[in-house]
Structures are given as structure tokens and as C-alpha cells.
Structure 1
Amino acid sequence: MSSSSTIVSGSLSVGQQELEENEEISRNRRNPKVALAFEEVLDSIGSRGKFQTRLNIVFNCFGPCFNMMSVNVFFLAMQTPDHWCHVPGIEHANMSLEEWKNFTIPREGNSFSKCLMYNQSDAVNWSSAEPIKCQHGWDYDETWFSLTVPSQMNWVCDNQQPAKDVLFYAQNIGVAMSLLFGYIGDMYGRRPLQLFCLAAHVISRLLLVLTPDILVLFILAESLVSAAAGPMLESALSVGLELADIRHRTTLNYFSSCCLGVGVMAAGFLSWLLRNWNYSMCCTAALFFALILFSRWFPESPRWLACRGREQDALRQLRRIAATNGGLLPPFAPRVMRNVAKAQRDRKGFLSLFSSWNVFKNTVLLITARSAHLLTQFSLVLLAGGVGVNPFLTVAAQGAVQLPSGCVVHVCAARLGRRWTAVGCALLASVTCAATFCMLRGKLRRL
């Protein structure tokens, strides 16, 4: 066949395909209940099929659960157990621990001093000696924790600053690094971002175990998860919502939020079971490595591919979804993806945040609201070890409260709208924080 006849034949084929697409589009446009959009393609390939089911179970249920578990396990690992000066000789004395502490450790109010011991070398009358700083290290209460980062590294008394530095710098560096993670998602896709976040969790948790004595590396290791936690949740949820029909998107969001609460509960119970922060971190790394093994079930966003000018790749993703669900790609799918590309191709990463005053203002408001939310939530976790009760049950209870609260928010948002629901949540959070502050302050005064 000559080249000219090939071109003519190809033109006829393209023209026939265009006619079929236009015919399908016109049929859908005559239906007043259906607007020709990406959702119509989903209806044809299956919006609640096997592909979406396994994607959402692994990455929007187990993913958020493991994510919150990883974050909260670290905060539990940074708890400082009750401690006192180690004074050699208890093994030769016929005394209980309480009697030995009464003999060797001065009191500060109703409790033993954490950083002082009696200065007495002949052990004749220790209680009349002058208190001095700890000379032989510290002993730690192992009622709840067998080992935490501060107890392993002795970040107590005059050496408390490293623990504060870790919490401060890791979170701030994580905020800056999260911008990089967001850039990766915008420029290279949701799938590479998700894999990058999963790998960041694995690398971070293993590095934490290996580098507690190298403070800079320890901070950078925790910064990886501080940066990856949010983008990991949002990239998975955005793809899950994109591939779900409109009627079930709110439900998917609700289940994903519930899994966050389950993750907080799992962090408390896992740390309680293992009690050693090294084991908790290694276990968390293993769970995220297991998620990486299922990464082939995480697709690239067809919308993102179309917006980046990769319409054929987007169609291949849709055919893959259709084959898994037992559906068929409709003939008008190429036209829809071209329309998606034309409508959204002008978005350019960070620059889109400054495209208008409203976009910039809303972005600032969202950042402020998210920061207040995280500060409220994680401050309670950090205080779990200082309330005098089981810290693991305290954290698990915080996660358990999220389950009914998420249900209430879900119902209120459906009936009252998202705006007033958000305002009510903010007011309730402020009242709760004030009440918690007053209770903790009263407890500290009694101590």
C-alpha cells in the first residue's frame, strides 16, 4: 500500500472515530441527568470495582493508619520516664528501692529529686549531707517504658536540650521539606510522590534507630516523616477520590479519617506491647515496607497525566482500570481527556498559589487551620507521659475519640455544610485545649 493511501486510510479512521465520539457525546448530552465529564468515563470503566477497592483498602485505609501510627510512635519514643540519680551500692544493701531512694535521694515536695543526690562518701548519715548533681548517671522508672530515646541517651536534667532540639527542628525542617514533597507531586505525579513518602518512612525509622548519638542525622531522619506524612495522605486520597464516583467520595473521605484515629490507637497499643522504642521503630519500618510491595496497585492520576500533556498515558491507565474492573473504555474517553487537559494545563505548581488573592488567602487560612489542628493533637500525645496514668491508654483513648467525632463531623457536614462545621470544630478544639490546660496546670500545682 502506498504512503498516500495509508494517510487517506488513517484520516478516514480518525474521522470515523471522531464521528463515533461525537455521536456518544450527543447521546449523553441529551440525557439531562448526565453531564459529559470524567465521571462518565468512570461509570463505563467501573467506579467501584476491584481496582478501586484494593487501592482504597491498602492506601486509604492501611496507609493512613500506618502513617499516624508512625508519627505517634515517635512522639511516644520521645517521652522522658520518671528518673533519679543512680547511686551505687543498692546491691549490697538490704533495702528496697524505695528505702534506698529515701536514703540517697533528696525530696522536692512530694516526689524525689530527678537531678540531685546526697553528697556523702562514708555512708554514715546521708540525709544530713549536702545535695549534689548526679555523679553516676540515672535510673529510670520502667513501669511503662523499658527504653525511650531520652532514657537511652540520658537527655535529662542539665542535658534536656537535645530532646527539645529534636522536636523543634525536626518539625520546622519538615515543614520546609514538605514543600519539596508537594513539588514532586505536582511535577512528577502522585504515584512517585506516594512511593517517595513510603520510602521516607522506612528510611527515617531505620535511621532513627541507628543515629540517636548523632543529633544532626537524628533530626534529619525525623524530618523526613514530618515532611512526608501529609503528602502521603493527600496523594493517596486525591487519587482515590478521583477514581470514585461522586456519590461515594464523602464516604471514602470519612473512612480515611477514621483510619487516622485507628492509627493513633495502634500507636498506643504497639508501643505498649513492645515498650522499647527501637523495636517500635523497626516494626513501623517493616509495615511501610509491606506497603511498598503493593505499590503496583497505586496508579498514576489520569487527570494529572492529561494536565501534563500525557493523554495517551492517561488513556492507558483508564484501560488498565477498565480491564481490572471488567468494564470497557468508552469511545468518547479521548475527547474527555483532551478537554481535561485544556481546562487545567495552565496550573504550574507553587506559582498557582499566587494566581489570585483569593487562592493565596485560602491557602494561608488552610495552613493556619492545619497547624492549629496538628499542634492541638500532638501536644496531647507529648503530654501523655506526664499525667500520671498509663500513657499508652491515654494515646489510644485520643484515637478512639476520633472515631465517633469523625462520624459527627461527617453528619454535620452533610446537613449543615462544611463552613459552619469547620467553625464549630475550631471552637470545640479551643474549649478542649483550654480545659486540658487548666487541668494539667492544677495537677502540676498539686505536685
Structure 2
Amino acid sequence: MKEFEDIIALVTGGGTFQKRLLYCIFGPVFLMLPLSWMNEIFLLQVPPHWCSHPSQAHLTGSDLDEWKKCFLPEQIQPDGAMGFDSCAILIPKGMSNETFWTMDQWNKQLCPGNSTLEDSTTISCSRGWKYDRADFSETAPSQNDWVCDKAEHVPNLFTIGTMGGIFGMFLLGYCSDRFGRKSIFLLTTILVVISGVIKTFVSHNFVVYAALKTVSAACYVAVFHLPFTIITEISPPEYRTWAIGISCITWTAGSCLLPLVSWLLRDWMLIALVTTIPLGFLVLGWNFVPESPRWALTKNKVEKAKFTLRAMATVNKTEVPSNMTEKLTLVAEKMQAEKSYGYISLFSKPNMAKKTFFLACANVGSNFLYYSLMLNVSNMAGNTFLNFFLLSVIEGPAILLCMWMLENVGRRWSHAFILFLNFLCLGVNSFIAATPSLNTIVIAFCLIAKFNCTISFTIIYVQTIEIFPTCVRNTGMGFTTLFASIVSIFGPHVIHLGTIDARVPYIIMALISFVGAFAATMLPETKGADLPETLAEAEAFGQGFAYLSWRAKPQANLEPLKLEE
């Protein structure tokens, strides 16, 4: 809406207010958020493990390796190489279970691994497991024996987290459009910290742990989305790329810190507490977070909008227009003239419905891949901490390139090209992932895919904010991310398939990238466009654009859209 964009541009000036908010409040949020959001990639690591037996209690090094060759059956590993079975042990022929499990000395003469399998009996690990402590002194799976018959607990927890995110997107996206950005941001930040701390001490009860995981995952979505929404809604078009770019760069810094913190602490409970509690201190900056004036006008709260705009003008050392009250009242009246029905409004008219659908599909291409590539670090050869760090640090130059592409190429074709490039990279990996000698190439293509995924993940947030109108902006963001998360429910299980055949995850991720690339080409270009305030403006935006076009079509001020009762 031109009237409001003019006011925002006038009071912004050098943008000191926006910079202070971004650097001092939202920057630390995005720095700390990946530490607590993605820490379970380390907390839920399943270390190499094998059956526990009294005879190996004091064995280390080469002696332990010899014991494994003696008592553990061999099987083909996911990468095609031979390795030991983690869930079974061999009993010498003719020896009873009771005698075997009380044998506290290793007698190399009674070594079933030196004879044929017909001369020995394979049984399950009835006395628990021993874990490789090289990377972690303890993880949640090693502490609670979430392996073998309980191996599904780990992918199930990631799936539960995704389902919690779906619930959060569905409920909290609507709530932030209904009750305001600021209050929901505060509430969800507090709940993230409380649920994250409590669940660390109740992992022995899987059901309670999973329930708290659901709560924290639901709230993470709002804590992540709302700063994006607030900073873009108080910024003119030329500041949006900068604001989202800086937010993503601080997120990358947090992602790079996570493997370092995990490597230094090595105990899952310490990692969980150190990466979660500091987020709570950010609540102290509550009074410095403004309520979105755009949202205030959708609720006819003209005075609240004026308060924020005057605060911006004071900090930015600019002047508010003398007729600001009249202009804001006019904008509010236009917004009040049309009714919004939440999620129904997203599909109220053909063009709006089409853009919502393709935004959701493109979001799948970014959301599913970003999350799955980070989870897939456990299936990659090499050091877990180093792999995660490389997958994180690659985001820095990716975001810088993304900011350049957004300003010089635009949103639409940048997004489509990047997702198609991911299709090619992951497609190559789907052919070579099961070849151990090509592991370096697989990791290289994963890094390229993660680089691209960071770009596409950033672009989809810019597009979503710029396509949906203020009255349903967070609802729209919630719905498209909801759609992507429903697909991403299967992400942990897709990655788990890599423990059976390392090629399968790459095949699925490549196909999803292709679908996302096509969907991105069906969205209108939004570079330089004003944020739509009403459903009428959102419906008109992008109508009739040429498929091979590169620029956004000029916008017109439209009368409010009348939705059918």
C-alpha cells in the first residue's frame, strides 16, 4: 500500500532504529537459535556400539579389536564395506547361554569367529552394549540404549520434532496475525528455554521426552519466523535483503559454533544446557522489540502504529509527516474494509491460491533438503564435528552470494536455478554414494548442495514475506512451512534409509529438488515491489506475468477485496 510505504521510507532515514534492533536483539536471537534448535543432531548421535560381555571389560586397542573379530558376526555396512553386527554376538558351539554370559576371561581357544557360522550360535545382546567414546563421553542414545530394537527412537524423535513444528506453524502463525508479533515472540522464546531444559533431565522416560520435544519444536518455528516478519515490516523495500541477509549470517555463525561447543563438552546433557539456557537471557531485551505497525493497522490500532513510527523517527533522527494520523487512519480503514478468514483467505481467489500452492512446493525443496542434509551428517564419512562445521561454514559465502543474486538477478530465477543445481548435485551422489573410494566426491557434492540450499532457504523467506499481505503474512508463512514440514516428517526416516543403502537419501532429495525448481518458476518476481497490505493487492500482484519475465510488474492501489461470506 503506497501510503504506508511512503511513511516507512520517510521515517527510516539511515535506518539506525532497524540496525539497532537487528544487531542488538534479533542478531543474538539468530546466533543462539541454531545452537538450541540443531543441538539434537549431536545429542542424538548413535556412537558405534557392540554387545557388552564380561570378557571384554578391560580390553582396549588391538586386544578389543581381536575380541570383536572373535565374538561379533560380520555383515555388510551401509557404505558397502564389511563390518561387525552391532546387535548380535556369537556363542561357541556347545556352550550354554548361562556359561557364556558368566565367562569373565577371554579364552582365545573358544573363539566362534574362527569357525564356521554353523559351529556357533548367534544371539541378541541381552546384557546391553558397549559404546565407542571417541567422539562423545555420553549421548542420549548411549545413556538410554536407544539402539537395535530401540533404534527407531532416534528417527522417531526427529519426526516428532517435525510434527511439533507443524502444530506450531498451524497455531502460532495464526496467533501472531491475531494477537500480534511481539507477544507471541516473547511467549515462544520462554517456552523454548523451559521445555529444552526440562527434557534434558527426563530422557529416561521416552514419552515425556518426546512430549517436551514437541513443545519446543512447535515454539522454535515462531521464534525463527517472527524476527524476519517484524524487521521486514518496519523496513522499506531496499532494506529487506540487507535485513534478512544479516539475520541469516548470524544464524550461520551460530551453526558454526555448535560443533565446536559439542566437541569441547562431549557430554549430551552439558551440550543441551549450554546451548539452550542463554537464549532465555534475550528476553531481557523485550522492551526494545517493537510491535509491527503494519499489524497494528490491520487491527485498527492507529495509536499503536503511530507510537512505533514515532519511536523509529526519533532514533533515526527523521521527521514524521504532519498528516501521518490521517494517512494511517486511511490505511487502517482500507484494511478493515475487507475480511480475513485466516487460512481460508490464502485460497480465497485463484491467483492467491496458485501462489500459495507453488510457494509451499518451493518451500519443500528448501526446507526438506536443508534439514535432511544436516541430519545426513551421521551418514557421511569422516569426522562428525568437522562435517557439520563444513556444512555450516559454507552458509556464510552462500548468504553473501544470495544477497547479490536477490538484488541483481531477482528472486524467481535465482531460486529456480539454485534448486535445479541441487537436483544435479544430489543426482550424481545417488549413483556414487555406495562406493567408499568416492566418499570425498560425495562430501564435496553435499557441501555444494548445502551451499545452494542456504541460498534457496533464504530466498523462499524473502518471497513468502513479499507475496503474502500483512493481514495473513504469518498465516501464509505458517501454511507454506507447514506444507513443507508435513513432507519433512519423512526426512529422518529417509536419512535412516541411508543406514541400509547410502544412495537412497540422495535419490529422494534429488527428486524433491527438481519439483521445487519447477514450482519456483511459477512464482512472480517480487524484487523492488511494495509489500501487499490487503488481500486485493495480493490477489492482483503477479497476475498475467510472462513465464520468461525477469522483473516485477508495476503495482496499482486497489480497492479492498470482498470475500464471499
TM-score per shorter chain, which class? 0.7 to 0.9
- For residue 54 of structure 2, give the secondary structure of its aligned residue in structure 1: coil
Deviates more, 1:325-334 or 1:78-87: 325-334
Aligned residue in 2 for 1:16: none
* Cα distance in 2 for residues equivalent to 1:125 and 1:243: 75
> 2:87: which partner in 1?
115
Aligned 1:287-306 pairs, distance under 5 A: 287-306=278-297
Q: 3-state SS of the aligned residue for 2:435? A: helix
Q: 1:136 to 1:317 in 2, by over 3 A?
A: same
Q: Contact conserved, 1:47 with 1:244, CA < 8 A, in 2?
A: no
Name the counterpart of 1:77: 43
- Is the counterpart of residue 211 in structure 1 residue 183 in structure 2? no
- Structure 1 residues 441, 223: CA separation in 2 closer, same or farther (over 3 Å shift)? farther
1:365 counterpart residue number: 358
Query: Are 2:13 and 2:317, in contact at CA under 8 Å, matched by a contact in 1?
Result: no
2:111 matches 1:126: yes
Structure 1 residues 70 and 366: alpha-carbon distance in aligned structure 2, compared to 1, 3 A threshold: farther
What amino acid maps onto 1:138 in structure 2? W
* Distance (whole Å) between structure 2 residues aligned to residue 77 and residue 416 of structure 1: 40
Q: CA separation in 2, counterparts of 1:187 and 1:439?
A: 50
Task: Flag the 1:355–1:135 CA change in 2: closer, same or farther, 3 A.
Answer: same
CA distance in 1 between partners of 2:274 and 2:251 (Å): 18
Which letter does structure 1 place at the counterpart of 2:132? D
Question: Is the aligned partner of 1:64 residue 2:55?
Answer: no
Does the CA-based 8 Å contact 1:45-1:325 persist in structure 2?
yes
The residue correspondences of 1:326-405 to structure 2 (distance < 5 A) are 326-345=317-336, 346=338, 347-405=340-398
Q: Which amino acid aligns with 2:110?
A: N
Q: 2:408 & 2:316 partners in 1: Cα distance?
A: 33
1:173-218 deviations in whole A, cap 9, x for unaligned? 3213311010111001010121123123212311320222333332
Moved more, 146-155 or 409-418: 409-418
Deviation (angstroms), 1:93? 6.4
Mapped to 1, the partners of 2:433 and 2:45 lie a distance apart of: 17
Superposition pairs of residues 390-429 of structure 1, within 5 angstroms: 390-429=383-422
Equivalent residue, structure 2, for 1:308: 299
Please tell me the residue identity of whatever aligns with 2:409: L
Q: Distance in 2 between matches of 1:236 and 1:100?
A: 55
Q: Which range is displaced more, 108-117 or 281-290?
A: 108-117
Taking the TM superposition and a 5 Å limit, the aligned residue runs for 1:171-250 are: 171-250=162-241
Distance 1:116 1:358 in 2: 58
CA deviations on 1:321-346 (whole Å, 9 max, x unpaired) are: 33444444432221221122123233
Q: Using a 3 Å threshold, how does the CA distance of structure 1 residues 207 and 356 change in structure 2: closer, same or farther?
A: farther
Name the TM-score, length of structure 1 as normaliser: 0.84
Cα distance, 1:367 vs. partner? 2.1
**Post-superposition offset of 1:410:** 2.4
AA matched with 2:91: N
Q: Establish whether residue 96 from structure 1 lines up as the match of residue 63 from structure 2.
A: yes
Counterpart in the other structure of 2:525:
none
How far residue 137 of structure 1 moved from its aligned partner, in angstroms, is 0.7
- Partner residue of 1:273 out of 259, 264, 274: 264
- Residue 92 of structure 1 deviates from its aligned partner by 5.8
Q: State the aligned residue count.
A: 413
**Partners of 2:31 and 2:213 in 1: how far apart?**
18
State the shift of 1:300 in Å: 0.5
Letter in 1 for 2:71: T
Match of 2:534 in 1: none
Residue number among 415, 423, 426 corresponding to 1:430 in the alignment: 423
**Offset of residue 114 of structure 1:** 0.5
Match of 2:321, SS state, is coil
| Contact 1:69–1:266 (Cα < 8 Å) also in 2 | yes
Helix, strand or coil at the partner of 1:441: coil
Moved more, 37-46 or 190-199: 37-46
Deviation at 1:91, TM superposition (A): 4.3
Q: Which ranges of 4 or more aligned residues in structure 1 deviate by more than 6 Å?
A: none
For residue 398 of structure 1, report the CA deviation from its aligned partner: 1.1
- Aligned residue for 2:130, secondary structure, equals strand
2-side partners of 1:137 and 1:439: how far apart?
A: 35
Q: Give 3-state SS (helix, strand or coil) of 1:389's partner.
A: coil
User: Partner of 2:23: helix, strand, or coil?
Assistant: helix
* Residue identity opposite 2:75 in structure 1: E
SS at match of 1:108: strand
CA-to-aligned-CA distance 1:266-320 (integer Å, 9 cap, x gap): 2222222222221122112222102111121111011111210111122122233
Provide Cα deviations, 1:21-66, integer angstroms capped at 9, x if missing partner: xxxxxxxxxxxxxx97334434554444543222111444222232
**Higher helix proportion, which one?**
1
Normalised by the size of structure 2, how large is the TM-score? Answer: 0.68
Once the two structures are TM-superposed, the CA of residue 78 in structure 1 deviates from its matched residue by 1.9
Q: Is the 8 A contact 2:172 2:184 kept in 1?
A: yes
Give the secondary-structure state (helix, strand or coil) at the position aligned to 1:119. Answer: strand
Gap change, CA 1:224 and 1:321, over 3 Å in 2? same
Instruction: Give 1:373 shift.
Output: 1.6
Uncovered stretches (5+) of structure 1, i.e. residues with no partner:
1-34
Give the residue type in structure 1 aligned to 2:243: L
- Residues 205-248 of structure 1 show CA distances to partners (whole Å, capped at 9, x for unaligned) of 11320222333332232223433333323321222122233322
Matched residue SS, 1:111: strand
Secondary structure of residue in 2 paired with 1:37: helix
Q: 2:173, 2:66 → 1: CA distance?
A: 57
1:137 is matched with which residue: 125, 128, 133? 128
Deviation string for 1:115-149 (max 9, x for gaps)?
A: 11232525550325422111211111112122222
For residues 302 and 256 of structure 1, the distance between their equivalents in structure 2, rounded to whole angstroms, comes to 21
Paired AA for residue 433 in structure 1: L
Secondary structure at the aligned position of 1:146 is classed as coil
Matched-pair contact (CA < 8 Å) for 1:48–1:244: no
Q: 1:211, 1:169 → 2: CA distance?
A: 16
Per the alignment, do residues 411 and 324 of structure 1 end up closer, same or farther by CA in structure 2, a change over 3 Å counting? closer
Amino acid at match of 2:400: C
Quick one: structure 1 residues 417 and 392, their matched pair in 2 at CA, closer, same or farther if it must change by over 3 Å?
same
Q: Is residue 55 from structure 1 mapped to residue 21 from structure 2 by the alignment? A: yes
SS in 1 for 2:123: strand
Larger radius of gyration: 1
